[in-house]
């Protein structure tokens, strides 16, 4: 378990190779750079002699900590081993992989290399982690090392269990590490000083009704009642949240907590720090894909997996916890289960590439019931090119509006996510602009919820900036009169307190302080609400409602909590609350074998 330090130098030793005489360099040390996932360069230093690439150091990067670690470890090693640039990228870190390869290419060009001769050979696989033990034993086996799996691992260990966590991707983190990180909780210590009235009952009603009352009531109640205690548990582990709450997109109320660290890195650091401190009793293996769960005398105990060097068999003598996430990145599953939206085949996703719902088939094969798979959540907030959440300029629901290509508002921007997305599908080219002002970005260094400064986004042409609304309209290519009228109507509603013509009731500041900003967005697949049926103890249930002994599940792999629509800010609650519950109850399993 290695945690990436942005200023660290990664030095990879050369493996001596024969037959390199044909590749000639001007001996020396050279630098190169290429843009990574946030548009800023990954900078490398490459040392060569006349025949070989000797060393590769990463000098500078602005990549997502945790998500990009495997690429920094493996891509330089693969280039050195192969003495070739034709290496495979690391799954889940494609942008970073390409940036490293591009930066090394630039450095080698400066060294006088014939780049064509360095890209024509057989592809080298990026080196993987150390070989997994063939047979592993612990009290509990957890499948998946995203937020739910890691929270379950920590919780299980705190309750006396030894743990094995198996993750198919090259790094831990899942969707959690690339999330917007908002965490809903009724929290009087933060809400009351801001004049916000809230209650657990209100959180319950908004969650239950927001899912069209299709969530299981006792599951929703467990979610909201455990939300704040679980936040306190996270804080007890060292996680820090900012002092103010806000309303996240589709959250319906100002109860979202924002971690101090960007994206979901705060959750991952909290869990991996704990796991590192207890590595004698918690084993985490990446690059290890679980294929099947076996029942021993009716209990879930053993899993079969494929690791970097062959088969891995892991036995959990008390329980198995499934935490494999949803299937938002699996186009065929989306098409198979979708009953609500137009075809999702050509729609992007906010999910990491490993979100393919692997746990569903494994659970169903041993009798688990799957529910609500048709409920697939889309957001109106996808990057127009990638579908990801990055580049989203909004800071909170209260202070921005949505504008279509005609320069007009078209929906209550504080509504449910499905309502806003359906409205966006009805707009020209299924495209909208988010429009806001300097209240959201008092300086150009102010960052969005994805750790990107507004200056970076403007420089990359992912956001537009202007001193007047008329100038902004010209850059957006919308009628200035329509945009000005839309903003004036919004400002009047802010002054009156609403509701406005769209029924919107969430307001804070007028849009009246330059500079003004706009950012383009399109629909994107975000969350799959359906999955494995569990009870309030996170135990997996079969089609008759009976508990499958020893089998637990938590996070987006489960169904029956969010119903037809998930409130924004409830996903991080879900994975942490039910991950913690799954770990506690799995550790408490004492049945004999």
Active site residues: 417
Residues 6+ apart with CB under 8 A from 327: 333, 334, 337, 355, 356, 357, 360, 528
Contact 350, 328 (CB under 8 A): yes
Q: How many residues would you count in the chain?
A: 593
Residue (of 296, 227, 238, 292) closest to 266 by Cα position: 238
Rounded CA-CA distance 29/44 in Å is: 10
Radius of gyration of the chain (CA): 25
Please, what sign has the CA dihedral across residues 137, 139, 144, 145?
Answer: negative
β-pair partners for 166 = 143, 285
SS3 at position 294: strand
User: How far is C-alpha 278 from the geometric centre of its chain's CA atoms?
Assistant: 25
Strand pairing category for 547-553 and 310-322:
parallel
Strand pairing category for 558-559 and 547-553:
unpaired
Rounded CA-CA distance 274/141 in Å is: 17
Rounded CA-CA distance 349/383 in Å is: 9
According to DSSP, residue 355 is labeled -
Rounded CA-CA distance 394/440 in Å is: 8
According to DSSP, residue 357 is labeled -
SS3 at position 210: helix
Rounded CA-CA distance 58/65 in Å is: 14
Rounded CA-CA distance 520/433 in Å is: 4
* Long-range CB contact pairs, 340-348, < 8 A, 24+: 340/374, 340/375, 340/376, 341/376, 341/378, 342/425, 344/376, 344/378, 344/525, 347/378, 347/382, 347/387, 347/523, 347/524, 347/525, 348/382, 348/383, 348/386, 348/387, 348/388, 348/522, 348/524, 348/525
Phi, psi of 150 (to 5 degrees): -75, -35
Count CB neighbours of 350 within 10 A.
27
- For residue 31 the two structure tokens come to 């630098």
Rounded CA-CA distance 22/20 in Å is: 6
Rounded CA-CA distance 390/95 in Å is: 13
């Amino acid at each position: 378990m290695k945690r990436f330090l942005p200023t660290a130098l990664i030095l990879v030793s050369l493996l001596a190779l024969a037959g390199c005489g044909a590749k000639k360099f001007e001996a020396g040390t050279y630098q190169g750079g290429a843009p990574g996932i946030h548009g800023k360069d990954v900078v490398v230093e490459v040392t060569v002699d006349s025949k070989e690439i000797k060393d590769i150091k990463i000098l500078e990067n602005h990549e997502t900590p945790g998500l990009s670690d495997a690429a920094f470890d493996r891509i330089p090693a693969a280039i050195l081993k192969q003495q070739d640039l034709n290496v495979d990228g690391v799954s889940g870190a494609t942008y970073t992989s390409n940036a490293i390869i591009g930066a090394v290419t630039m450095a080698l060009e400066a060294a006088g290399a014939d780049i064509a001769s360095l890209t024509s050979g057989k592809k080298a696989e990026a080196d993987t982690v150390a070989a997994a033990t063939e047979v592993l034993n612990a009290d509990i086996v957890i499948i998946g090392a995203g937020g739910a799996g890691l929270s379950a691992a920590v919780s299980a260990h705190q309750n006396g269990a030894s743990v094995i966590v198996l993750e198919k991707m090259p790094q831990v983190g899942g969707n959690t590490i690339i999330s917007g990180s908002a965490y809903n909780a009724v929290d009087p210590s933060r809400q009351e000083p801001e004049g916000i009235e809230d209650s657990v009952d209100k959180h319950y009603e908004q969650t239950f009704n927001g899912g069209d009352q299709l969530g299981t009531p006792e599951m929703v109640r467990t979610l909201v009642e455990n939300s704040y205690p679980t936040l306190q548990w996270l804080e007890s582990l060292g996680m820090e949240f900012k002092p103010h709450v806000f309303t996240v997109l589709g959250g319906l109320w100002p109860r979202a907590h924002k971690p101090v660290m960007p994206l979901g890195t705060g959750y991952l650091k909290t869990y991996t720090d704990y796991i590192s401190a207890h590595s004698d009793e918690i084993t985490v293996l990446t690059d290890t894909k679980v294929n099947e769960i076996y029942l021993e005398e009716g209990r879930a105990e053993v899993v079969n997996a494929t690791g970097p060097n062959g088969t891995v068999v892991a036995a959990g003598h008390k329980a198995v916890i499934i935490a494999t996430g949803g299937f938002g990145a699996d186009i065929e599953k989306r098409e198979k289960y979708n009953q609500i939206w137009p075809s999702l085949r050509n729609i992007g996703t906010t999910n990491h590439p490993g979100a393919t719902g692997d746990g569903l088939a494994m659970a169903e094969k041993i009798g688990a019931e799957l529910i609500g798979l048709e409920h697939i959540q889309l957001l109106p907030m996808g990057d127009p090119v990638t579908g990801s959440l990055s580049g989203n300029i909004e800071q909170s629901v209260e202070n921005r509006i949505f504008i279509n290509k005609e320069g007009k508002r078209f929906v209550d921007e504080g509504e449910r996510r499905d309502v806003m997305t359906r409205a966006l599908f009805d707009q020209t080219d299924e495209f909208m602009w988010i429009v806001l002002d300097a209240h959201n970005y008092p300086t150009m260094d102010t960052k969005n919820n994805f750790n990107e400064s507004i200056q970076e986004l403007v420089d990359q042409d992912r956001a537009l900036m202007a001193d007047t609304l008329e100038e902004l309209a010209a850059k957006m290519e919308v009628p200035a009169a329509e945009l000005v009228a839309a903003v004036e109507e919004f400002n009047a509603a802010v002054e009156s307190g609403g509701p406005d013509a769209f029924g919107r009731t969430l307001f804070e500041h007028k849009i009246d302080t330059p500079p003004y900003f706009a950012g383009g967005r399109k629909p994107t697949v975000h969350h799959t609400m359906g999955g494995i049926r569990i009870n309030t103890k996170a135990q997996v249930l079969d089609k008759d409602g009976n508990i499958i002994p020893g089998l637990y599940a938590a996070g987006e792999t489960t169904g029956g909590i969010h119903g037809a629509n998930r409130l924004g800010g409830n996903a991080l609650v879900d994975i942490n609350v039910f991950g913690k519950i799954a770990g506690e109850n799995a550790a408490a399993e004492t049945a004999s074998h």
